[in-house]
Amino acid sequence: MFNLQMVDLKRQYEKIKPEIDAAIQNVLNSTAFIGGPDIHAFAKELAEYVGVKHCIPCANGTDALQIALMALGLEPGDEVITPSFTYIATVEVVALLRLKPVFVDVDADTFTMNADSLKKAITPKTKAIIPVHLYGQCANMDAILAIAKEHNIPVIEDNAQAIGGSYTFADGTTKKTGAMGTISTTSFFPSKNLGCYGDGGAMFTNDDELAEKLKMIANHGQKVRYYHEMVGCNSRLDSIQAAILRIKLRHLDEYCDARRAVADYYDNAFKNNAHIVTPFRAAYSHHVFHQYTLQLKNVDRDEVSRLLTERKIPNMLYYPVPSHKQKMLEAFGGAEYQLPTTDMLQECVISLPIHTEFAEEELAYIVKNVNEVIDELTKA
């Protein structure tokens, strides 16, 4: 009946096609494929948008995290605290750099780093904390930043899922996600809230020295060409992606509003279903709904997922296996970890389609099917 997708990039592109096509053609005409003027303009515009002094584009969100950790000058074996309940990239880069990932639990309502769990995980070897603004909701930054400050530990915000969101501190000041950490990182993977048409990422900081270092590491450790001061890597955003992102950045707030409107629709439609817990919206956070993720109660989540797929209703489990249970990371924990909320969420979360281009009939159709499937499975 409908051709539903988790994310509809085609309809979004069609709406801005003339602008995008012209921007791409402009790069083609210039042949400045790497390091052209769009890169610098985009970095400046995005830094202004987020409210941070420096934005350093790079090849993807995973590289952004890796380079951020490299810039902090950590030693092998240093501990880095992350939530287990995140996309694997957050943790993978820690292990890749021979650092030690230390996993903490998340809050059952916001799905983001739990402050008590963080407090207990800190040791003299803790050298970085990476909160993740999961699904578009900002982590509890008042608590996290206070703990980090007390122990003088840098914070890297993994803002891959929440660009455009914001956080209001207890004192009333509001900052955009990505503007609060020592360094923050994001991804422009096509399905992210600010997505390009390939791979891309960026790092942000207010610290001039760190900015210089991030830039050097992303460029083979050089400031002056062919004079390499430190071991780095090759991580660039290309000019075509930057040109696309400059246009999409102008639409970002409108895209976030469209996602929030979809979330409102779903929230309202599911509010009387006793088997569904709709996403919590923390008062301190402007949630930008990268994902719309339900918790299912007293119904077999995997069966719900299977039956929805049978009915051609796209749905995803983000994430079926938390980091501390991944084979890749078995050297770093596994059974020794007690993360009850993470375990609980692993069993009950399911994400529904969310994007910027829905027609109301499509949402109604999704909701009807979700409610029907749950009814079917819970009828006595």
69 or 363: CB nearest ligand PLP: 69
| Element of type H or E holding 296 | strand 292-296
Interface of this chain with ligand PLP, residues 112 to 141, rule: CB under 6 A:
132
1 C-beta neighbours (distance < 10 Å), count: 8
84 or 369: CB nearest ligand PLP: 84
90 or 346: CB nearest ligand PLP: 90
Taking alpha carbons only, the member of 139, 17, 149, 151 closest to residue 90 is 139
Interface of this chain with ligand PLP, residues 23 to 62, rule: CB under 6 A:
60-62
- The least CB distance from residue 7 to ligand PLP, in Å, is 13
Query: 72 and 203 in contact (C-beta within 8 Å)?
Result: no
Query: Can you name the residues that pair with 1 across neighbouring β-strands?
Result: none
Interface of this chain with ligand PLP, residues 56 to 115, rule: CB under 6 A:
60-62, 86-87, 89-90
30 or 191: CB nearest ligand PLP: 191
111 or 337: CB nearest ligand PLP: 111
- Cis upstream peptide for 319 (omega within 30°): yes
- The least CB distance from residue 49 to ligand PLP, in Å, is 18
Using CB under 6 A as the binding rule, whether residue 155 contacts ligand PLP is answered as: no
Taking alpha carbons only, the member of 285, 316, 288, 292 closest to residue 302 is 316
With CB under 6 A, what is the number of residues at the site for ligand PLP? 15
Token code pair at residue 214: 């991030």
Residues 187, 239, 346, 369: which binds ligand PLP (CB under 6 A)?
187
Phi, psi angles (nearest 5°) of residue 221 = 65, 25
Half-sphere exposure of 55 (CA within 13 A, CB side): 24
Could you list the residues that contact ligand PLP (CB under 6 A)? Answer: 60-62, 86-87, 89-90, 132, 158, 160-161, 187, 189, 199, 201
